[in-house]
Amino acid sequence: MTKECSNSRRWHDDFWPPVRGDYVVGNPEAGVAVVTLASRLRAEGAAISGPCKTENLGVEKIVANTISNCNIRFLIICGAESKGHLPGNTILALHRNGIDEHGRIIGSKGAIPFIQNLPPEAVRRFQEQMELIDCIGLEDEEEIALQIARYNCLAEPYPGEPFQVVKKKSAREDILAGEGDLILGAGTIMDTAAWLVFAEGK
């Protein structure tokens, strides 16, 4: 049984989470996000939870979706590590060390640990706003729920505005107006920063 927490929260944004992905949205006012790495686990009480199997795009989406909600102050990293990719190790390295001038995550043991679709300011905000809880290997859902409840009670909203890496105006209109940066052929255009793909005329 989880403990209820009465910390004051603020929530004013219906545009969250801004980046699509393989996750479950819980209570946006909660102070904890959970990444379950290669495992499929329930994370009751979290603001957002889901797996992450890659050390680049997957990590970028976690950063984008957490820093765009000021209520989230803790990221619990649990579940089984994804072999070769090592996203858990990479998230910890990103938070601890940041990125170099080429976007490589300093200290990551993953195969291709690069941040390519986020500005350096987003990484710095992730480092400032989030505290990481290293529970890599933990797959006990009851224990995870207890950790979520514990850190929810410790979380206070970040004293700043949500950091948006995806524009709130119509990304579809921007892309079809020529602001997409990757043409996939057959009239299909992608904005890699927003992880959005559209077909012309659709």
The count of domains in the chain is: 2
Q: Are residues 189 and 119 in the same domain?
A: no
200 falls within a domain: yes
**Residue 114 located in a structural domain:** yes
Please identify which residue in the block is written with the tokens 């329930």.
Answer: 42
Write the pLDDT tens digit of every residue in 127-170. 999 999 999 999 999 999 999 999 999 999 999 999 998 755 44
Least confident of 45-54, 111-120, 148-157, 178-187: 178-187
What range defines the domain where residue 39 resides? 24-154
The SS3 of residue 69 is coil
The model's pTM is 0.80
Domain annotation covers residue 101? yes
- Say how far apart CA 13 and CA 24 lie, in whole Å: 17
- Supply the pLDDT for residue 38: 97
Residues 85, 107 within the same domain: yes
Q: How far is 148 from 150, CA to CA, in rounded Å? A: 5
What share of the chain has pLDDT > 70, as a percent? 75
Do residues 120 and 194 both lie within one domain? no
Do residue 91 and residue 113 come from a single domain?
A: yes
Supply 157's token pair: 């909203």
| Distance in angstroms (rounded) separating the CA atoms of residues 166 and 148 | 27
Tell whether the model's pLDDT for residue 52 goes beyond 80. Answer: yes
